[in-house]
Chains A and B, each alone.
Chain A
Amino acid sequence: MRPRQQGHVVRAEHEDLLRKLALNEEGVLASLLGTELIDGEPAGLDAKTAALVRLAGLIAVGSAPASYQWCVTTALAAGASDAEVVAVLAALAPIVGSARVNSAAPEIALAIGCDLDRYDG
């Protein structure tokens, strides 16, 4: 861990902002981006499709685990099945390349509840 810069204090509000960003916290992101992340009443796409589309976008640009998690949770809450989430990965593979998909896959698997390394007693 780097030592604090001399004379430069990272205030609690900064810590909160950065930490919530790292968690993909909707509130702070919405205020930074100047827009709601998820439309309450989706006009064009239904909520589930919108979520899956968002997921595809995140995979395509490469994202942090917290972002994938947020997006998958939203998709599941909107009625997506595990199969549909996995299908997004499959559909993207030829488009964005296997490298992107492979780096996203484990985090997405975790988000749909595949406890990959869990021992079941």
Chain B
Amino acid sequence: MSHDTTSSIDPHGLNERTAALACLATLVAMHAGPSSYGRCVDRALAAGATVDDVIDTLKVVAPTVGLARLVTAAPGLALALGYDIDAALEAVDLARPDEPGGL
């Protein structure tokens, strides 16, 4: 898969932000591997999308792509945003010093 060919081959009418979010939606629908999300998310955020926008994209396509795709996409998408779900599921929150350790 190559870099941005859209702008050089066939200029589209979408602004960059929308285009990037559309690509993101496609990744979810196409069962893309976790590594694909990084570039796409970077592109979207660089084009002015917010984290809310990225999450909203997920919500928009949800009924269309269905459960299996959403669940598969979540870890990769999260990682692209900087949130390591794998680590989060394993980590135990440390308590504040004045509590006896959440016991």
A-side interface residues toward B, CB under 8 Å? 1-5, 8-11, 14-15, 17-19, 21-24, 29, 32-35, 37, 57-58, 61-64, 66-67
The 8 Å CB contact of B70, one of A2, A21, A62, is: A21
- A-chain residues with CB within 8 Å of residue B69 when the two chains form the complex: 61
Contact A32 B51 (CB under 8 A): no
B-side interface residues toward A, CB under 8 Å? 31, 38, 41-42, 45, 50-52, 55, 58-59, 62-63, 66-75, 77-85, 87-89
Contact A22 B82 (CB under 8 A): no
Contact B31 A17 (CB under 8 A): no
Alpha-carbon distance A29/B74, docked complex (angstroms): 11
Shortest Cβ distance from A9 into chain B, in angstroms? Answer: 7
Interface of B is mostly: helix
Shortest Cβ distance from B102 into chain A, in angstroms? Answer: 18
Contact A3 B67 (CB under 8 A): no
A6 nearest in chain B by CB position: B45
Known: A10-B83, A29-B67, A58-B67. 12 other contacts (CB 8 A): A2-B79, A5-B42, A14-B81, A15-B83, A15-B88, A18-B75, A18-B81, A22-B78, A32-B62, A34-B62, A62-B31, A64-B71
